[in-house]
Amino acid sequence: MKKLKDIPIFKNEDEEISFWENHDSTEYIDWEKSEPVIFSRLKPTTKTISLRLPEYMLEKLRTIANKRDIPYQSLLKIFLKERIDEESQSIRHSNPQ
């Protein structure tokens, strides 16, 4: 049986991501002994940012959100996700691999 290396203790998620991007997990984990797991309550990691918007844009966003009966921050995330998905789709179609 192969001796596994110890997984380091990471200071934060970014450090862990960087580590696993550059290391082979089979040197640290015996995948033969692994079992499937379901993370039913897992939420995506979020990060707080500061965003400056013109007042008129913020007011329009609040008006639309009010009509949809959702917080304007949630509406902004919906709009951003839709646009990011569109751009990603466009990039995939223009750069086939």
| Per-residue pLDDT at 96 exceeds 70 | no
| Per-residue pLDDT at 20 exceeds 60 | yes
What integer is the mean pLDDT of 37-60? 89
pLDDT attached to residue 54:
97
Asked if residues 67 and 46 have their Cβ atoms less than 8 Å apart, the reply is no
Using CA atoms, how far apart are residues 4 and 35, in angstroms rounded to an integer?
Answer: 18
Residues 6 or more apart whose Cβ sits within 8 Å of residue 65: 71, 72, 74, 75
Place of tokens 């696993």: 20
Using CA atoms, how far apart are residues 97 and 93, in angstroms rounded to an integer?
Answer: 9
Asked if residues 76 and 84 have their Cβ atoms less than 8 Å apart, the reply is no
- Domain spans of the chain, in order of start: 13-94
